[in-house]
Chains A and B, each alone.
Chain A
Amino acid sequence: MALVELPDWAALAPVLALAATALVIFVVDGIDPRRTDRQLLAGLAAGGSLFALALAVWFSLAGVGDPGFELFGGQLVVDEMALFFVVVVAVVTALISIASYDYMTEHAYQAEYYSLVLLAATGMATMATANSLVTIFIALELASLPSYALVAILKENRGSVEAGLKYFLIGALSSAIFVYGVSLIYGATGHLQLGAIADVIAGEAEAGAGHAIAEFDGMLGLGVLMVIGGLAFKTASVPFHFWAPDAYEGAPAPISAFLSSASKAAGFVIAFRIFTEAFPIDAMVGIGVDWTVAFVVLAIVTMTVGNFAAATQENVKRMLAYSSVGHAGYALIGLAGLSGANGEFVLAAAMMHLLVYGFMNTGAFLFVALAEHWGVGRTFADYNGLASRAPMASVAMTVFLFSLAGIPPFGGFFSKYFLFVGAIGVGSTAMLVVAAALVVNSALSLYYYSRLVKALWIEEPTIERATLTKPTGIYAAIVVAAVMTVVILPGFGPVADAATAAAAALVA
């Protein structure tokens, strides 16, 4: 029995904390716009996201998400999966806020930068809790709009501006497709709230205009597919991935890390929620809309395109961008495998992968941020022999790369292993093909990841370098990410439990 009975909306505290921090930064900057106290701003951003992280972890441990709170008539929901992904978003936000302190030196728009980051994080966290197609769309836009600005924030840099524009144009197209899909679904079912849609599809409730849902299978199918399209944009899945390599390459490296980790994870959380809550696979197969087929195709194509395109890149950041596309393909396995008896296990594996990915991918991009900070260059050859100058960061980068490749004993190995086992456990031929694609692509990915490791440790530097500085913020963020990538292995028990519980609650 709690001493004080908190109101229900208090369950949204982690999201509200992020939003409040963004506003506080505005206020601080508004008091004296001419003076920029970078330390204070970065501290506020990091502190706010860490506070949100602490709240989310506390809620998760305290069992707030079990069975979960439905708020505002079921428009938002705070359950275990929501908290799990709020944790992912908050972690990444904290890491990149700390790292940005050094990276953004000399740049204008400091306060704007941090508040945009936090607003985007608020959007992503809201995506994790959104439970209706409307709130989902709003949250999606809340996350996307600051992202466009963030990619283009280096206004003097042509690459950054061009990337921002491309990102925005593709984003607008995708949002249009998404919202069109939402309207079609509304037309077919007469509902926007996810649970209500599921009731109509299962035949437990009347569709809006009094027709049988089966008559509108084509319209519903098209709507579902368009929604998938919108989600594919957010998760950078083929064929909606075209913005990703350009945007990640042009954006400031911490923002690349932010978009490729947190934003992708947020895209996946709504995908997981929509397709488990609104379109349960058994009922959807009954009316001829087997969406797992779409995800099987997307998963295979995405991981193959991502990894194959990454294999021969010369630019490190671009290689990581394509690798990020490839990892979206791995996470899509979670949705592709939902049809079988093993569905919740696969889904949990995908969630674990996104968490581990949050650390290792953010860390890898932050190393690129560090390299940009040093000004060593962008290609593999420019990274030659960095290990002799910055051994600690290079060790951390090696950990990230090997973890991304899925080499034991790092966290990436375990999540990928669970994905593989789960995919095989589903038992259908399609999923066996997916599992095979996972193995082949992982093997290929080892090639280009180890190319970078080789450049760091084995190759001789092409030019003489002066001693490299050690920016505290980026170093701290990299080390934390590396440590988490390693220690998540012994900590995998609780993580796996949390993911499995969240997945089980969804699928049940």
Chain B
Amino acid sequence: MESAFEFAPAIALFPLAAFVIALLFGRQLPKRGALVGIVATGASLVFSLWAALAVATVGSHREPLFEWAVGEPTSETGVEGIEFTFGILLDPLSTLMLVIVSLIALLVHVFSLGYMNAEGETGLPRYYAELGLFTFSMLAFVFADNLLMAFIFFELVGLCSYLLIGFWFRTESAPSAAKKAFLVTRFGDYFFLLGVVAIAATFGTLGFAGEGSFVEAAGEAIDAGESLFGVDPELWVTITGLLVLGGVIGKSAQFPLHTWLPDAMEGPTTVSALIHAATMVAAGVYLVARMFGYYALSPTALAVIAFVGAFTALFAATMGVVKDDIKQVLAYSTISQYGYMMLGLGVGGYVAGVFHLMNHAFFKALLFLGAGSVIVLAHHKQDMWEMGGLKSKAPVTYYTFLAGALALAGIIPFSGFWSKDEILYDALIVGIEQPVFLLAYAMALLAVFFTGFYTFRMVFLTFHGEPRSDAVRDPHPVGLSIKLPLVVLGVLAVVAGVANLAPVAKLTGLEITFLEGWLEGGIGEASYLAYSGAVFEGAEAVYATGVIGTESTTVLVAAGVSLLLAFSGAGAAWRLYGVPEPVRHTESLGGAYRLLRANYYQDEYQVWLASGFTLPLARAADRFDQGVIDGVVNGVSSVSLFGSGRLKRLQTGIVTNYAALLVLGFLALLVALGVHGGWFL
């Protein structure tokens, strides 16, 4: 099985080849490069599965591939020299993510046949080339064995995101949205880069796992207790961890850097599904999971992650309630769901967070592709108020979309329920011992209600009731290439929860938490090196936890409360919108409606920050540069030229003047030196 590791770099190189081929020969290829992309991502999927199988049999694998720079300096902890490398790290977490990414990339490529090719879009070679470049970068990010490599590919996926959001660059809104996405995420990445530098300078290594990783070095430094850069080592780990978190917050669209994601919906829906729902946005959360051992050393950093996540989950869910555009609802839902994952990781629920990451990738890709299908059906209308009644006309789209919606809303037994419940359970048991976390739990719980509401509002408005426009009375047919990915993802959305039925396991004592076993490094009897250290043990590994009564009652209470809220949200949506002729019901929200429609004025204050604060500051700096700096420079040159003109006049051309000046100059020198040396005394 080891040969799988030798071929592992090919997982990323296949899409890279597809990128090059589509870029160079896309015009001549059948389907404008789609087939190349499908073959490449298909191959990536096969090799990813093979690598996962290899990890399961022979254990994790870490291998530096290419060393591109070596430095001399001694780090703060006394490590001499530092190497910057590209390498691969294949362990349960990364291979799981590889499979997810390559699977969804494959399905999106297939879907694109129906969504892009069949709709007669132009610029398809560019589209497939960028899709290939994205898939390459994302896969390479996932198997990166060190933080700097991860950062490099983190930036590359950001670039691809920028390119693909702006795919329809002739419109006014798409380039603007692309720029916004690029700038906002770059703002976060700035802190990420600082964090990378700080970690490199502190520990002299950037490796993620195993011997000589910065995670281990940080643990040793905290045990040794010697201060790093003049501060307590734990505080320093917190600071560096939070710096890296800046990149995570930008990429995973967490509050307050979430504003780019709704605008990113300007890109093609397939791109939204792949990049802005299932994979790239997951890169932030994945990075936290990748570095979880590091964050686990700092309860403060974890608490920040938990509260950012919980707040974002609630905050975004409330905004999703009032959106009319089907993709906008899904965008806010995405932000909200990533908030859940952050909360899960933040309360120490490593398995829960990764579990939700996986489930969300499936059901959110499904929902976006379903939305894409709806958009095709509705002749490129996206406003849900112009839809309705699609249920009978497009049953495949409806039922798969419904499966995704049920998973998203967290209805038992769909996949989303199991992972969201696990996150909430982990938050609850930590909150019982540290009541401050109950606040985060409460926010996340409240968000469950809103999630149920906006999800089913979307389902009812889109598929139920009477058709509200001519477009949906006579829908455009959708082909097999659209239906097939929907069916695959629909099945996954229903059954993926089986991977980790933690509540059932806790109640019955059966060993059916397969995902936990997988991440832990052994399912049943088998065991292998997992590089996860102590972090997979759930919330107990980091925080003290408690239970209400017994563990079983706690499990039942947590699940019951969240299910109740999910059902009431869905029920409210059914009451309001599950009627043949739904109305907006916005007036009942009163002033809150305006606040929600305006997205809590987040864009406004960020625009104000840019135009009201940064711009005047930049102007002042510019004025300083133009006036003072350039003024000094110009002044110097005019003084020089003036002085030059004067000095030229010394040279009169009359030799007696020369002799006189020469003697006078000599005498001046004599007087100066004589006084200095005391010759005249």
Contacts and interface: CB of A to CB of B under 8 A. Distances in A.
B193 to A, nearest CB: 30
Interface in A291-311: 291, 293-294, 297-298, 305, 308-311
A311 B679 contact: no
A135 B170 CA distance: 85
A102 interface: no
Among A229, A242, A305, A312, residue most surrounded by chain B Cβ atoms (within 10 Å):
A242
A124 to B, nearest CB: 23
Given A243-B658, A309-B651, A311-B644, A221 B674 contact: yes
Interface in B644-663: 644-645, 647-648, 650-651, 653, 655, 658-659, 661-662
Given A166-B655, A309-B644, A177 B679 contact: no
B340 to A, nearest CB: 57
A302 B674 CA distance: 20
A166 B658 CA distance: 9
Among A169, A174, A290, A308, residue most surrounded by chain B Cβ atoms (within 10 Å):
A308
Contacts of B650: 242, 305, 309
B673 A239 contact: no
A201 to B, nearest CB: 14
Contacts of B645: 312
Interface string B663-676: 01110011011101
B548 interface: no
A294 B673 contact: yes
A61 B661 CA distance: 45
A393 to B, nearest CB: 28
Interface in A184-234: 217-218, 221-222, 225-226, 228-229
Contacts of B670: 222, 225
Interface stretch (B176-184, B624-632, B635-643): B635-643
A239 B665 contact: yes
A408 interface: no
A208 B603 CA distance: 93
Contacts of B680: 218
A293 B673 contact: yes
Contact of A173 (B647, B662, B679): B662
A291 B679 CA distance: 13
Interface in A121-174: 165-166, 169-170, 173-174
B647 A218 contact: no
B669 A169 contact: no
Nearest to A220: B679
Among B645, B669, B678, B680, residue most surrounded by chain A Cβ atoms (within 10 Å):
B669
A495 interface: no
Nearest to A313: B648
B677 interface: yes
Contacts of B637: 447
B640 A294 contact: no
B673 to A, nearest CB: 5
A245 interface: yes
A238 B662 CA distance: 8
Contact of B643 (A225, A288, A308, A313): A308
Nearest to A309: B647
Interface bin, chain A: 35 or more
Contacts of B669: 225, 228, 239, 294, 297-298
Contact of A312 (B641, B674, B679): B641
B648 A309 contact: yes
A306 to B, nearest CB: 9
Main secondary structure of the interface of A (DSSP, over half): helix
A277 interface: no
Nearest to B672: A297
A474 interface: no
A289 B647 contact: no
A444 interface: yes
Contact of A242 (B651, B678, B679): B651
Contacts of A309: 644, 647-648, 650-651
Interface string A324-335: 000000000000
Nearest to A222: B670
Contact of B679 (A218, A226, A305, A313): A218
A96 B664 CA distance: 36
A308 B642 CA distance: 9
Given A221-B674, A309-B647, A311-B640, A240 B679 contact: no
B641 to A, nearest CB: 6
Given A309-B647, A311-B644, A312-B645, A289 B666 contact: no
Nearest to B649: A309
Among A221, A290, A297, A298, residue most surrounded by chain B Cβ atoms (within 10 Å):
A221
Contact of B655 (A169, A177, A291, A312): A169
A88 to B, nearest CB: 27
Contacts of B661: 239, 242
Contacts, number: 93
A246 interface: yes
B640 A221 contact: no
Nearest to B678: A288
Nearest to A287: B677
A169 B666 CA distance: 17
B146 to A, nearest CB: 36
Contacts of A310: 644
B665 A289 contact: no
B677 A170 contact: no
Contacts of A294: 669, 673
Contacts of A166: 655, 658
B640 A308 contact: yes
Contacts of A226: 666
Contacts of A305: 647, 650
Given A169-B655, A170-B658, A238 B665 contact: yes
A239 B655 contact: no
Contacts of B665: 238-240
Contact of A289 (B643, B648, B658, B677): B677
A364 B650 CA distance: 25
Contacts of A169: 655, 659
A475 B573 CA distance: 91
A166 B676 CA distance: 34
A283 to B, nearest CB: 13
Given A169-B655, A222-B670, A225-B669, A308 B662 contact: no
A185 to B, nearest CB: 14
Interface in A24-38: none
Contacts of A245: 651
A221 to B, nearest CB: 5
B19 to A, nearest CB: 38
Nearest to A305: B647
A240 B673 CA distance: 17
A447 B677 CA distance: 39
B647 A308 contact: yes
Given A246-B653, A308-B647, A217 B673 contact: no
A272 B223 CA distance: 64
Contact of B659 (A173, A217, A288, A289): A173
A311 B673 contact: no
Interface string A369-393: 0000000000000000000000000
Contacts of B676: 290, 293
A495 to B, nearest CB: 30
Contacts of A177: 666
Among A170, A177, A288, residue most surrounded by chain B Cβ atoms (within 10 Å):
A288
Given A166-B655, A308-B640, 9 more contacts: A173-B659, A217-B679, A221-B679, A239-B666, A239-B669, A245-B651, A246-B651, A291-B673, A293-B673
Interface of B: 637, 640-641, 643-645, 647-648, 650-651, 653, 655, 658-659, 661-662, 664-666, 669-670, 672-674, 676-680
Interface of A: 165-166, 169-170, 173-174, 177, 217-218, 221-222, 225-226, 228-229, 238-240, 242-243, 245-246, 288-291, 293-294, 297-298, 305, 308-313, 444, 447
7 contacts: A166-B658, A173-B659, A174-B662, A217-B678, A240-B662, A308-B647, A313-B648
